[in-house]
């Protein structure tokens, strides 16, 4: 279903919002992705993905309390919507079906080649 298509980074962002639950704001999302996936995330890319996911209706945002350490500006928190949950289910089911469709011999053959390559080193 085209309506539920997500890019890889969008999927990672939504998953991270779900992991963080009530603490999902941009800096926490960035830190969580970087620590779990050991990859660098630019704030620009993250904000673009968050905006795109909101525009698609997969996430919604709200302002938190104003804090002195942020010069009175509130944090913007994100949470998954019902539509976002449907998109995530669709994404997982699609990936699971693709994984199931791969013959075991293919995966085993590639694994065997990797083991052989490492043993030759």
Count of CB atoms situated within 10 Å of the CB of 44: 8
Does 106 score more than 80 pLDDT?
Answer: no
Q: How far apart, in Å, are the Cα atoms of 121 and each of 70, 107, 109, 112, 114?
A: 53, 22, 19, 15, 11
Residue 80 falls inside a structural domain: yes
Phi/psi of residue 42, each to 5°?
-85, 145
**pLDDT given for residue 11 in this prediction:** 96
Does 113 score more than 70 pLDDT?
Answer: no
85 neighbors 34 (Cβ within 8 angstroms): no
Q: State the first-to-last Cα distance of the chain, in angstroms, to the nearest integer.
A: 45
Inter-axis angle of helices 82-101 and 8-20, nearest 10:
120
Residue 9 falls inside a structural domain: yes
**pTM of the entire structure?**
0.79
In total, how many domains does the chain have? Answer: 1
Residue 10 falls inside a structural domain: yes
Task: Kindly report the average pLDDT of the chain as a whole number.
Answer: 87
**pLDDT given for residue 54 in this prediction:** 97
Q: Which helix (H) or strand (E) holds 52?
A: helix 43-56
Q: What is the CATH number of the domain that holds 35?
A: 1.10.10.10
**pLDDT given for residue 91 in this prediction:** 93
Count of CB atoms situated within 10 Å of the CB of 64: 14
Q: Is 71 left (phi over 0), alpha (psi -120 to 50) or beta?
A: left
More confident residue, 120 or 98: 98
Does 121 score more than 60 pLDDT?
Answer: no
Residue 66 falls inside a structural domain: yes
pLDDT digits (tens, 9 = 90+) for 50-94: 999 999 999 999 998 777 776 678 889 999 999 999 999 999 999
Q: Which domain holds residue 57?
A: 2-90
Residue 26 falls inside a structural domain: yes
């Amino acid at each position: 279903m085209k309506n539920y298509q997500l890019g890889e980074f969008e999927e990672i962002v939504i998953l991270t919002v779900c992991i963080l639950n009530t603490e999902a704001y941009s800096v926490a999302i960035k830190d969580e992705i970087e620590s779990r996936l050991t990859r660098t995330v630019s704030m620009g890319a993250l904000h673009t993905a968050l905006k795109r996911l909101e525009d698609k209706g997969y996430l919604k945002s709200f302002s938190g309390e104003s804090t002195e350490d942020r010069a009175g500006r509130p944090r913007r928190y994100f949470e998954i919507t019902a539509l976002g949950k449907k998109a995530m289910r669709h994404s997982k089911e699609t990936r699971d079906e693709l994984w199931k469709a791969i013959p075991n011999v293919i995966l085993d053959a590639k694994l065997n080649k990797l083991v052989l390559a490492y043993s030759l080193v």
